[in-house]
């Protein structure tokens, strides 16, 4: 009889310090709900932070272009190879020295390269967008192809632009090329198309130096053709005497 009483007495104590299956399921359900709520918030904060850093990068690039213009009679640097109409690695021209001391750059700033001190910190340079995968070798920013037209191996003067605040200079892009083509002159899988990597937005540096985050669809729909002021086609000329 005493043994039975002892067993009855111990059972409540065991239940008091344990968890039932229902209680565990409730806890798991609550954790699942919290995760579902917090993940989008975290993703939104991360995307916003990446876009903010990208905008800062473009402002640094814009400041470098402005300083270059001051030192070069108001001209923008050539973006092509000498004697060629092709667009080269514009960031590797003499413009390069206005953007960085070179420590964070390799031949291709977006590819890892072993050095005597380890891997060069390419992903800390203003030419690298944090929304891109550092393992990829895409060029996150491209120059507006149509500003230079066929004068790509020469400096150009932006003064003839009717409204520099409406004409793109550099922007987010996809692929491995160094320039951006207009929507009417590229296919859907082009290596030179604008990027919408910031949650459907494209960060754009304009010729007056300001940076805006613009819905990608707005650019595609409103600035589809190169005749739009957004592209500045036909406005700039090679400086006389060069």
pLDDT, tens digit, 9 for 90 and up, residues 95-152: 767 776 443 334 444 444 444 444 444 556 788 898 887 666 567 888 888 887 766 6
The C-alpha atoms of residue 31 and residue 223 are separated, in whole angstroms, by: 46
Secondary structure E strands in the chain: 114-115, 118-119, 141-144, 168-172, 179-180, 201-206, 211-215
Weakest mean pLDDT among 88-92, 198-202, 229-233? 88-92
Sign for the CA dihedral angle at 164, 165, 166, 171 comes to positive
Cβ-Cβ contacts under 8 Å for 34 (sequence gap 6 or more):
none
Instruction: Inform me whether the pLDDT recorded for 153 exceeds 80.
Output: no
Say which residue the tokens 């991360």 belong to.
46
Q: Band of the pLDDT at 205, cuts 50, 70, 90?
A: very high
For the entire predicted model, the pTM comes to: 0.72
DSSP β-bridge partners for residue 118: 115
Q: How far apart are the C-alpha atoms of 191 and 240, rounded to whole Å?
A: 33
b/e code 86-96 from CB counts within 10 Å (16+ = b):
ebbbbbebebb
Strand-pair category, 118-119 with 114-115: antiparallel
Mean predicted confidence (pLDDT) in 178-188: 73
Q: How confident is the model at residue 18 (pLDDT cuts 50, 70, 90)?
A: low
């Amino acid at each position: 009889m005493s043994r039975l009483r002892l067993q009855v007495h111990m059972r409540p104590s065991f239940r008091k310090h344990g968890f039932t299956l229902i209680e565990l399921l409730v806890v798991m359900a609550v954790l699942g709900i919290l995760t579902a709520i917090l993940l989008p918030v975290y993703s939104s904060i991360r995307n916003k932070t990446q876009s903010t850093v990208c905008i800062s990068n473009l402002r640094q690039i814009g400041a470098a272009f402005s300083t270059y213009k001051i030192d070069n009679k108001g001209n923008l640097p050539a973006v092509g190879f000498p004697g060629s109409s092709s667009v080269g690695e514009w960031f590797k021209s003499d413009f390069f020295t206005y953007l960085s001391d070179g420590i964070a750059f390799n031949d291709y700033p977006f590819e890892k390269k072993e050095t005597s001190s380890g891997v060069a910190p390419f992903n800390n340079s203003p030419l690298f967008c944090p929304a891109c995968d550092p393992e990829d070798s895409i060029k996150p920013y491209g120059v507006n192809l149509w500003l230079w037209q066929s004068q790509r191996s020469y400096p150009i003067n932006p003064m003839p632009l009717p409204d520099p605040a409406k004409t793109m200079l550099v922007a987010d892009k996809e692929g491995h090329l160094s320039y951006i083509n207009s929507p009417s002159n590229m296919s859907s899988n082009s290596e030179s198309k604008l990027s919408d990597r910031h949650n459907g937005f494209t960060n754009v540096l304009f010729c007056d130096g300001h940076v805006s985050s613009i819905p990608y669809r707005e650019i595609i729909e409103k600035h589809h053709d190169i005749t739009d002021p957004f592209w500045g086609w036909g406005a700039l000329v090679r400086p006389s005497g060069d």
